[in-house]
Amino acid sequence: MLAHVEVPVVLFVLAGLLLLALMVVAVVKRTLQRWRQTRRWHHALAAETRAEHLLVRAGYTILGRQVHRRYSILVNEQPLAIDLRVDYLVWKKGATYVAEVKTGAQAPRLAYAPTRRQILEYLVAFDADGTLLIDGERNVIDHVTFPSRATAAVVPPEKKTFYLGLGLGIVIGLVVMLGFFIPAAQGP
């Protein structure tokens, strides 16, 4: 039966089938992406709900959920508006805290730079007294304290070694000088 069909018609049918197969793959791929995204969203929402109960049990009062804040930074003396949304704004013992809930393998860890930078930005933007990072899977609240500008000026290790050597040299020099001048002052 195919012997009577011309080659261009066969190629046209094969191209159509290939296009149809690619469209099916694209639809399946997009459906899986949406399913994963919805699953992650539900997982994060459940973690935030658990975190709220965890905060209340730890003695925090919930001031707000998904609190929006707009603040400005200056770039070349021109204001740039930044929109933020923190998971929770809470209060305890006269202090206000921003609380961020994270899930997954990396995000709940302070060694993960994007999380650390995010909660530092929240601290500044919300003018809070402190920051809480909540691991939404392990149900753990970490109270994070960032250094102030005054305490952040840490002396690098190589300078510490230099200053230690300098101080030790001064002490040894003083001891040698005292050893030289004291017998000379007492006379022969």
pLDDT tens digits for range 14-23: 888 888 888 8
Pairing state of beta strands 140-144 and 95-102?
unpaired
More confident residue, 17 or 130: 130
Q: Kindly state whether residue 45 falls inside one of the protein's structural domains.
A: yes
pLDDT value of residue 140: 92
Task: Report which of 88, 123, 91, 81 is spatially closest to residue 102, judged by C-alpha positions.
Answer: 88
Q: Mean pLDDT for the chain?
A: 84
Q: Kindly state whether residue 116 falls inside one of the protein's structural domains.
A: yes
pLDDT value of residue 158: 67
Section 165-180 average pLDDT: 76
Q: Is residue 110's pLDDT more than 60?
A: yes
Q: Kindly state whether residue 128 falls inside one of the protein's structural domains.
A: yes
Whole domain around residue 35: which residue ranges? 1-156
Return the minimum-mean-pLDDT range out of 28-37, 109-118, 171-180. 171-180
Task: Report which of 133, 121, 47 is spatially closest to residue 90, judged by C-alpha positions.
Answer: 133
For the stretch 179-188, pLDDT in tens is 766 655 555 5
Task: Report which of 32, 50, 63 is spatially closest to residue 102, judged by C-alpha positions.
Answer: 50
Q: Is residue 167's pLDDT more than 60?
A: yes
Q: Count of domains in the chain?
A: 1
Task: Report which of 75, 101, 103, 106 is spatially closest to residue 90, judged by C-alpha positions.
Answer: 101
CATH number of the domain within which 53 lies:
3.40.1350
pLDDT value of residue 70: 94
- What's the chain's length in residues? 188
Q: Is residue 159's pLDDT more than 80?
A: no
Q: Is residue 72's pLDDT more than 70?
A: yes
Q: Kindly state whether residue 171 falls inside one of the protein's structural domains.
A: no
Q: Kindly state whether residue 179 falls inside one of the protein's structural domains.
A: no
Q: Kindly state whether residue 185 falls inside one of the protein's structural domains.
A: no
Q: Kindly state whether residue 98 falls inside one of the protein's structural domains.
A: yes
Task: Identify the band that residue 82 occupies on the pLDDT scale cut at 50, 70 and 90.
Answer: very high
Q: Kindly state whether residue 162 falls inside one of the protein's structural domains.
A: no
Q: Is residue 157's pLDDT more than 70?
A: no
Task: Identify the band that residue 176 occupies on the pLDDT scale cut at 50, 70 and 90.
Answer: confident
More confident residue, 129 or 184: 129
Instruction: Burial-class residue 86 by CB neighbours within 10 Å (0-12, 13-18, 19+).
Output: buried
Section 3-30 average pLDDT: 80
Give all strands (DSSP E) within 4-129, no chain letters: 61-75, 78-92, 95-102
